[in-house]
Chain A
Amino acid sequence: MRARGCAALLAVLLAVAGCSGGPARHGPLLAGGGVDAEPHARDCLPPDGRTRTSTTNAGPVTNEGSGPVTVTGVSLVNPVEMGLVEAVFVPEEGPVNGAVYPPPPDEAGEGWPDRVVAPGAVLGPGEEWWFAVGLRSEGPAAATERIRIDYEDADGRAYYALTGTSVAMREQCIGVEIDWPDW
């Protein structure tokens, strides 16, 4: 059995790096991906044969601030042959990834009837909503690096938040190598 010394040393500060504070675009809304970090997940979704649409559920979006924020716009980041149909916030869970957009009831999730269209939505402090986006394939190489949410706080300061998942739309996803754009 090894004896332990009774003396304990506390707290070393290796350097004074500390928190230097981020640029103004680091706001209170968290949408899964960091502003400066690369996407950390990739989804391939087959488009619906008739509408060419698919649904991506980007997961929970949280307002970590002490006041409300108002969403001013939603856009695709570095899209290739892909369009945005609609972006909504859902109060709980959200739709199945890869469902046609809008998703049918059995794939929409319980909160779908209470969804709010993202542009113009006001998210209160501490609120968590699920971010669902309808995407349209406009070509065989359809892809978006991520999705961007622009918003303002109560004082009119502008920020944006990014999702952390890249999305491609292909007729066949399983068993093939996806030709992702060179972002």
Chain B
Amino acid sequence: MPSGGAVVRLLAWPAGRELASLEDGDTFTLTPIARTSTDSDGHYELRVDPSVDLGRFESEDGLVEVSLDVQAPEGQASYQGTVAPEEALGGTFSSRAAGDEVVEPSLPSELDLTLEPAGSVARSDVPADDDGLVHAQYVNLGVRWTNVGALFIKVTGVWGELQHLSGANAELGVGVASNNGSYSASGTVNRASDTTIGFGRHGRYTYRFFDTQRPYARYTRWNCSGTRSTSTVQPLAYGGNAGARSRSASAHIPPNQPRSRCAPYAPRTIHDQTVTKASTWATGAKTSSLIGIDLSARTGYSNTAKTRFDFVEAGRAVCGTRNHPAQRTEPGPGTLVVQMYP
């Protein structure tokens, strides 16, 4: 049922470096940058106030991290993402690079939201005020393993290697809980790597996920009335990544792909898959011990996060589960799998 008259707000988070400087238990503010109400059909359109200086919220990748909050008598909802300042102000997004990688805003231009019922919420000791700012408190949750890629080599005669270098960008899921309820996945944020991780060269019949650790944080907030709360769990900005492990992906081996999605290679050749978007692993960030659910992880294939295949024997091909590996157009090649090409 559509919800009319609900208040919709877009809140800008502080720039990543400011967030990264917080000590456990510190409070900070989220700044409202757009506000509207839904019409009787539940539709809404947000426009950022052009007088707002979004530059002070920009992180190094040029994007602003935001929460889209909805509050209505029936309940509330929150969605986490990033926006490009020029797009938020009515212009056209122009791609920009963070390190060697092009990053894109993750907040959809159109978004359906479902309200969580409002419940009784305990007041906290975090001060509320009437200036429109939203106060939040930071709690460090420690590190969790997050997926940065996978290898699926179903043949002999081909070597594969995941190369995850400093600057690689990952799109990581965010968990949101309203009214002290349970967490659900709601949006994504971009996080760059600041560490080069080597996962080694792998040969025949390799079905492995590759993970690195990232620090996570919980941000709990209250609006100025102090009557509603939202907890957001997401990877720490500028927290960096460290450590490497691989784990079995045997339960996720893609079936053999049709030849139309395959690029065959002769012996002595190599193929590097670079910028196209890799698959999103719905449970790639292992956060269930923190919030009851695992969150998503996707690392794009890029010059800093690429997959290399060395072809040693004839009759082999690298194939995409969604499209030919040479196709950049959406949905991209999907998961890469090396298979026979008789």
Interface residues of A (CB under 8 A from B): 2-17, 20, 30, 32-34, 37-46, 57-60, 92-93, 95-99, 107, 163-165, 172-175, 178
Complex Cα distance, B261 from A92, in Å, reads: 11
> Is the CB–CB distance between A32 and B326 below 8 Å?
yes
Interface residues of B (CB under 8 A from A): 1-3, 6, 8, 10, 38, 41-48, 68, 70, 72, 74-75, 77, 83, 87-93, 102, 107, 109-117, 159, 181-182, 184, 259-260, 263-276, 301, 310-312, 314, 324-329, 341
Complex Cα distance, B292 from A149, in Å, reads: 52
Identify the closest chain A residue to B269 (Cβ).
A98
Identify the closest chain A residue to B177 (Cβ).
A2
Which of these, A9, A42, A173, contacts B274 with CB under 8 Å? A42
> Is the CB–CB distance between A96 and B266 below 8 Å?
yes
Which of these, A13, A44, A96, A173, contacts B45 with CB under 8 Å? A13
Which 3 A/B pairs are nearest by Cβ-Cβ distance? A59-B326, A98-B266, A5-B115
Which of these, B3, B260, B270, B327, contacts A7 with CB under 8 Å? B3
A65, chain B: closest CB distance, angstroms:
15
B203, chain A: closest CB distance, angstroms:
13
Which of these, A14, A40, A45, A60, contacts B276 with CB under 8 Å? A40
Complex Cα distance, B275 from A57, in Å, reads: 19
Chain A hits for B270, CB < 8 A:
43-44, 173-174, 178
A58, chain B: closest CB distance, angstroms:
6
Known contacts A7-B74, A12-B46, A46 near B269 by CB under 8 Å: yes
Complex Cα distance, B112 from A118, in Å, reads: 46
> Is the CB–CB distance between B46 and A60 below 8 Å?
no
Which of these, B3, B107, B112, B312, contacts A174 with CB under 8 Å? B312
Complex Cα distance, B326 from A37, in Å, reads: 13
Known contacts A43-B272, A44-B269, A60-B260, A5 near B74 by CB under 8 Å: yes
> Is the CB–CB distance between B327 and A32 below 8 Å?
yes
Chain B hits for A7, CB < 8 A:
1-3, 6, 42, 72, 74-75, 114-115
A-B contacts, 18 listed (Cβ < 8 Å): A2-B181, A4-B116, A7-B72, A7-B74, A7-B75, A7-B114, A9-B77, A9-B114, A10-B41, A10-B42, A10-B43, A16-B90, A33-B328, A41-B276, A46-B269, A58-B326, A59-B324, A164-B326
Chain A hits for B41, CB < 8 A:
10
Which of these, B87, B116, B265, contacts A14 with CB under 8 Å? B87
Q: Could you say which of B273, B274, B326 has the most chain A C-beta atoms within 10 Å of its C-beta?
A: B326
Which of these, B75, B90, B260, contacts A15 with CB under 8 Å? B90
Chain A hits for B182, CB < 8 A:
2
> Is the CB–CB distance between B117 and A3 below 8 Å?
yes
Complex Cα distance, B89 from A92, in Å, reads: 46
Chain A hits for B275, CB < 8 A:
37-40
Determine the main DSSP class of A at the interface with B: loop
Complex Cα distance, B114 from A11, in Å, reads: 11
Which of these, B110, B267, B301, contacts A13 with CB under 8 Å? B110
Known contacts A4-B116, A7-B74, A46 near B328 by CB under 8 Å: no
Which of these, A5, A14, A97, A175, contacts B83 with CB under 8 Å? A14
> Is the CB–CB distance between B266 and A5 below 8 Å?
no
Identify the closest chain B residue to A34 (Cβ).
B328
Which of these, A13, A33, A107, contacts B266 with CB under 8 Å? A107
> Is the CB–CB distance between B326 and A165 below 8 Å?
yes
Which of these, B2, B10, B117, B269, contacts A97 with CB under 8 Å? B269
> Is the CB–CB distance between B274 and A41 below 8 Å?
yes
Chain B hits for A95, CB < 8 A:
264
Chain A hits for B181, CB < 8 A:
2
> Is the CB–CB distance between B92 and A37 below 8 Å?
no
Chain B hits for A163, CB < 8 A:
326
Identify the closest chain B residue to A36 (Cβ).
B95
B71, chain A: closest CB distance, angstroms:
11
> Is the CB–CB distance between A173 and B269 below 8 Å?
yes
Complex Cα distance, B117 from A175, in Å, reads: 58
Complex Cα distance, B110 from A162, in Å, reads: 31
Complex Cα distance, B329 from A37, in Å, reads: 10
Identify the closest chain A residue to B310 (Cβ).
A174
Complex Cα distance, B324 from A32, in Å, reads: 9
A175, chain B: closest CB distance, angstroms:
8
Chain B hits for A107, CB < 8 A:
266
B162, chain A: closest CB distance, angstroms:
15
Known contacts A2-B182, A8-B3, A15 near B271 by CB under 8 Å: no
Chain A hits for B276, CB < 8 A:
40-41, 164
> Is the CB–CB distance between A97 and B266 below 8 Å?
yes
A87, chain B: closest CB distance, angstroms:
15
Complex Cα distance, B42 from A8, in Å, reads: 7
